[in-house]
Structures are given as structure tokens and as C-alpha cells.
Structure 1
Amino acid sequence: MTTAMFKKIKTLFVAALFAPVLAIAAGPMAPLDKAPVSRDPAALQHGAKLFVNYCLNCHSASFVRYNKLTEIGLSEDMIRDNLMFTGGRVGDLMKIAMRHDEGKKWFGAAPPDLTLVARQRSGHAYPGADWLYTYMRTFYRDPERQTGWNNVAFENVGMPHVFWQLQGEQIAHKTDNPDGTVDIRLELVKPGLMTPEEYDKAVADLVSFLVWMGEPVAAKRESIGIVVLLFLIVFTGLAYALKKNYWKDIH
């Protein structure tokens, strides 16, 4: 390997390593609202319903099979009758028919797979949950955008507001600050089918489902972790008692 080639590989490696950090540091971060993430089966089932009806048209969840939803309390018959609209088998992956090039043409960028979206963005208690909860509640009308919508958490986003009928229409009041930042206050000017409280609850259920989908075994993993810690505590006590018994005649 030549020196020039080694330097090129080293440069690419460093760029790949630090590019995500630089991308996060370069973009302004909107204040995030705390997401009330729940593991209640009813909330997860409602979130699954919203995901299939509003998100799965453009976004796939290609690492999850429909029958995985039995773990949140749904039977296979319920999944087949209420969440599968294009036929197929209940063991199929949650994919979509839209091709990557079509999505890029229609939206400017292909809609991403949402299986791990809740784990890809930084948040507080749950990675990405706060960002998703804020994002889905901060769409506002913007006639300058091709879709007619913009977003506080994701400026100039290509995605339209798919929940606008539920939330209603918001407009943005922008105030320029001396430091160059902009404060945005949203005003609901056209109510939707839900009250603001009902809509916030619906978004919370959707986010809860996205969090669950990113790691379905989280609850089981945590319960196993508690059992392991209790075992280690008991084992440490027994080991200490055994040590004292072995060394009692020496000390």
C-alpha cells in the first residue's frame, strides 16, 4: 500500500467517524418537548394503528414483521383484519410498494425506513422520542414550501403534515433575536378533528410504538437485568461470607 493511498484511507475513516458529530453540531436544535413514552398495550396498539394508517404509505418498517405485533396484545386475526390492507401473510415484513427513486422524485429525498428512527436521534430518557414527539406536533403552514408545510424541529422538511386533519392548521409567528436566532411561536388557526390534548396523546402513542418497534425486547431486557443484579448482590454476599470462613483462623 502506497503512502498516498494510506493517507486517503485515513482521511476517509476520520471523516466517516466524525461526520455525524459535525452534522449534529452544525444544525440548530429546536427546544424539545418531553415525550410521555408508554409501554401500555392499549397505547402501543393505538400507535400501531396510526403508524399503519398514516405512516406506512410512504415509510417502511422493513425490520419488523406484522406478526411481531402479537407482543403488544394483538392476535394474528386482528392484525390481518385491521392492519393489513394489501393482502399478504401476517408473517410478512412491514414494507411498502413505493420505490426509492420514486420517493426521491416526489419528496426531494426518499422517505426513510422508520424501524430504528426512535434510536437515531438524540433525546433524553428515550433516544429520539423527544425529537419525534416535538416534530409531529410542530408542523405549520408555509406557502413557500412545495408541500405547503414546514416544521419547527426540521426546517424545510420535504414531508407534508399527514396528521393535519387530526391536528388542524398552525401558523408560525417568527421573532428575530439579536444573536441571529429566531423564536417561533405556533398558533392553531384552524382546529382539527381532535382537541390539542387528544392530538398530543395520539402523537405520544405513535412515538411509544416507534420506540417499541426500535427495540421490542427492551422491557424483557430490563427485567432480566434486574434479576442479574439481584443475583450478583446475593452472590457477592455469599462469596464474602465464604471468604471470611476460609480466613477466620488466619486473621
Structure 2
Amino acid sequence: MKRVILTLIFLIPNISFASGGVQLQHANNDITDKASLQQGAKLFVNYCIGCHTAKYMRYQRIGKDLGLTNEELQDNLMFSAEKVGETLDIAMDKDDAKKWFGVIPPDLSVTARSRGTDWLYTYLLSFYLDPSRPNGVNNLVFKDVGMPHVLWERQGWQKLVDHKLELVNKEDEAKAKQYRQDVRNLVNFLDYVGEPNKAARYDLGWKVILYLAIFFLFAYALKKEYWRDIH
């Protein structure tokens, strides 16, 4: 019990730090939704892969899991690759990336697993204008982030007012609402990339539990039969 308590004590500060003291919003993503995953993949290759890699995932695997043909992959997702067997990598030099952004943009293959989908979802919704920063933006979840807000045109600019985010232009409310769905799709795709077999594992899990439950009934009945004469 003492070991469990000590573990929780050490984990609590880490959880607080990871969210930057911000209440995380629920992503409510669904990795079984192939339409969402396809939209998320499009957003990733159009807005993220210019700087970030997902080098543990191959285009071919995406096509297989998301129901896309090789032709659809090449027409819609493969802007920086020639063969479907290639990974989601980029040609950006690491030294150039560090000079431009201050840090080397991380690979996003397992970010959803390490950070959590709620963290990613809240992070992508939490950019706001900050003239003091080199890229002109900051983030509530990740203070002094080096990443620019590459999706700002889909959301509209936000400003920080009394520790809360507000749209600079109220006319962007409809766009910002759609942006939330865009972010959910993107996070959904990153969740899938982090563990492509998760959906299959979940589908198999309830079947295994059902099998064990049925097996328990037969085992219990057999046990009662064996012990009947002893009692």
C-alpha cells in the first residue's frame, strides 16, 4: 500500500505539468470510425508532415487499415513519397529545423500514447496570439511552444482574456466549430498511428471475456459435480 501511495504522489506533479495546469478537454475520438481516420490522415499530410514525421507508420499500412487503394493513397496522401511501402518521413534537415523552430520537431508516431489523446486535443485548441513569441503565438497547454499555429486558417485567431481563450473575430465561430471536428479527426488518426492494432485488440477483447465467462459457468458446474459426493 505504501508503494502505491508513493507512486501516486510522484505521478500527480507529472500529470499537472503535462497539462500545464489546464483542464484537459475530452477528445472523444473513435478509432473504429474510418471516415474520421481518413480525414485525419489528410490533415496530417497537409499540415503536419512538413515538419513532423511518423516514421514508424507506412502508407501501405494506412491504406490497408483505412480502406484506401494504392491509387487513392498516391492521389490524396503521398505528397512526399513515391512508393506505398515508404514510411511517413520527411526530408527536412534536423539542423535547419532546430535553427527555424528552436527545437527539432518530434516524431508523432507515439505522441498520442505518450501524451494522451485529451492532451493532444486540448493542445491543438489552445493556441493564442502572443506578440512576444518568435512565431507570434503561444499555447495554454504547452507554454512558450516553438510550434507555429499551422491550422489557424481553419480555426481563426484566438486571444487570451483573463486566462480564457476568445476568438479575435466573432465571425469565425462557425469555422472554429468545424475546427473542433478537424482536430478530433487529426487526434483520431494520431491515436491510430500510435497503435494500429488497437481496434482489433478491442474487438478481440470482449470476445475473450465472453469466452472466459462461458467457460467459467461450465467449469463451475463441473466442479459442483466432482465435489457432490464429498459433501
TM range (shorter): 0.7 to 0.9
Deviation at 1:22, TM superposition (A): 6.0
Say which is worse superposed, 25-34 or 147-156, in terms of deviation: 25-34
After TM superposition, list the pairs within 5 Å mapping 1:206-221 onto structure 2: 206-221=186-201
Separation in 1, partners of 2:46, 2:90: 12
Alignment-derived partner of residue 250 in structure 1: 230
Larger radius of gyration: 1
Distance 1:187 1:103, change over 3 A: same
Separation in 2, partners of 1:20, 1:59: 28
The alignment partner of 1:120 has SS state of helix
Contact 1:66-1:94 at 8 Å conserved across structures: yes
Deviation at 1:87, TM superposition (A): 3.8
Alignment-derived partner of residue 46 in structure 1: 39
Unaligned ranges ≥5, structure 1: 1-17, 122-127, 175-183
Deviation at 1:202, TM superposition (A): 0.7
| 1:58 maps to 2:51 | yes
Distance 1:134 1:110, change over 3 A: same
Alignment-derived partner of residue 6 in structure 2: none
After TM superposition, list the pairs within 5 Å mapping 1:118-133 onto structure 2: 118-121=112-115, 128-133=116-121
After TM superposition, list the pairs within 5 Å mapping 1:1-251 onto structure 2: 24=15, 28-38=20-30, 39-70=32-63, 71-121=65-115, 128-174=116-162, 184-190=163-169, 195-251=175-231
Deviation at 1:82, TM superposition (A): 1.1
Separation in 1, partners of 2:48, 2:120: 13
Amino acid at match of 1:195: K
Q: How many residues align?
A: 219
Distance 1:194 1:52, change over 3 A: farther
Deviation at 1:227, TM superposition (A): 1.3
The alignment partner of 1:33 has SS state of coil
Give the alignment's TM-score, normalised by structure 2.
Answer: 0.88
**Displaced runs of 4 or more, over 3 A:** 18-28, 190-194
Deviation at 1:139, TM superposition (A): 0.8
Separation in 2, partners of 1:19, 1:100: 34
Alignment-derived partner of residue 12 in structure 1: none
* C-alpha RMSD of the superposition: 2.1
Distance 1:227 1:81, change over 3 A: same
Separation in 1, partners of 2:27, 2:48: 19
Contact 2:53-2:89 at 8 Å conserved across structures: yes
Deviation at 1:86, TM superposition (A): 2.8
Give the alignment's TM-score, normalised by structure 1.
Answer: 0.81
Distance 1:26 1:171, change over 3 A: closer
Deviation at 1:249, TM superposition (A): 1.9
Separation in 1, partners of 2:98, 2:173: 31
Amino acid at match of 1:196: A
Unaligned ranges ≥5, structure 2: 1-8
Alignment-derived partner of residue 5 in structure 2: none
Amino acid at match of 2:216: T
Higher relative contact order (CA 8 A, sep 6+): 2
Distance 1:98 1:194, change over 3 A: farther
Distance 1:87 1:131, change over 3 A: closer
Amino acid at match of 2:140: V
Separation in 1, partners of 2:122, 2:69: 32
